[in-house]
Amino acid sequence: MNASTWQAELCVDSRCELGEGPQWHAAQKRLYWCDILGKHLHWLDPATDSHASVALDQMVSCAAPVNDGRLLLVGERSLVLFDTERQTQTPLCDFEADNPVTRSNDARVDHHGSLWLSTMGKNAEHGAGSLYRLHRGELVTLRTGLTIPNAICFSADAQSAYFTDTPTGQVMRWALDENGWPVGEPECFADFSAYSGSPDGAVMDSEGCIWLSLWGAGEVVRLDTQGQIIGRIELPVDQPSCPVFAGAGLETLYITTAREGLSLEKLAETPTAGSLYRVETGIAGLAEPSLQLV
């Protein structure tokens, strides 16, 4: 079967150094995303295309919607609750605060309202990263010895979690118990180790397929339940980092991208690298719950 192909269009010319962590806040009808290295939180109202951002005091990789209306900022040294109306911050807990080597990376809320989140070395130091689950306010370590943990998402039936350690090129599937905790060892779901791009952020759609960013390849691929590519979104920039479904009916796919590490020549060729892109695929996303802290 031939894979469907779409072209992404520029949505917000934000030119983040490292755009990441897009999250749809259904109650606010806002899309949030982060510039990790630029230490900014961005948001977009898809209904009006209005965009704004705020400076942060640490590198933050994700702003996850909390069920009380606030955001949880996943930072390099702490988890912080952010009131978007008052723009006030309330510390929740430290997050590898005693490890100056690492920063936060990928994160996504599971079907139980718990947040899976990861860390990595600031210079991608081998094995410096870890994978955690924030469950009812308690931070539990799930896995250590990872390098660039990414692609966190969950099957529609809540029986599997997916993630990748980007340098390995493999997307892993991990069985979950009835409370959302991993069971046994993860298994390889899709192998991109011989591919031109590296697996980065991912999101699940309403049909049980995964949309996976391929860093360096300038594309997001759609994987079926067997891990086979059945769709492809082409971008005019090389480093897509993470997709998310947002807007009315979760019918638009937004994609964060990055400028990090690009040469001056490459930036001249792709000046909108680091910006937010979107595409209408005709396929709706899978609704994600808000984070529950208690």
Whole-prediction pTM value?
A: 0.97
**Cα 272 to Cα 145: distance, rounded to the nearest angstrom:** 34
Token pair, residue 157, equals 């039936």
pLDDT at 268 over 90: yes
Residue 12 to residues 5, 42, 51, 255, 283, Cα–Cα distance (Å): 22, 10, 8, 10, 22
Does any domain span residue 288? no
User: Which percentage of the chain shows pLDDT scores above 90?
Assistant: 98
Does any domain span residue 285? no
Does any domain span residue 289? no
Position 3 scores a pLDDT of 84
**SS3 category, 96:** coil
pLDDT at 69 over 80: yes
Containing structural domain, residue 156: 4-279
Does any domain span residue 110? yes
Position 2 scores a pLDDT of 75
pLDDT digits (tens, 9 = 90+) for 129-159: 999 999 999 999 999 999 999 999 999 999 9
pLDDT at 260 over 80: yes
Task: Supply the CATH number for residue 29's domain.
Answer: 2.120.10.30
Does any domain span residue 222? yes
Asked whether residue 35 is marked as a ligand-binding residue, the answer is no
Asked whether residue 224 is marked as a ligand-binding residue, the answer is no
- Mean pLDDT, the chain, rounded, equals 97
Does any domain span residue 293? no
- Mean pLDDT confidence for 98-123: 98
Q: Active-site residue among 35, 106, 110, 200?
A: 200
Position 139 scores a pLDDT of 97
Does any domain span residue 292? no
pLDDT digits (tens, 9 = 90+) for 170-217: 999 999 999 999 999 999 999 999 999 999 999 999 999 999 999 999
200 is catalytic: yes
pLDDT digits (tens, 9 = 90+) for 237-247: 999 999 999 99
Asked whether residue 200 is marked as a ligand-binding residue, the answer is yes
Total domains in the chain come to: 1
Does any domain span residue 290? no
pLDDT at 1 over 80: no
Asked whether residue 99 is marked as a ligand-binding residue, the answer is no
pLDDT digits (tens, 9 = 90+) for 75-90: 999 999 999 999 899 9
How many residues are listed for the chain in this entry?
A: 294
What's the start-to-end Cα distance of the chain, in Å?
Answer: 46
Position 294 scores a pLDDT of 93
User: Which percentage of the chain shows pLDDT scores above 70?
Assistant: 100
Position 248 scores a pLDDT of 87
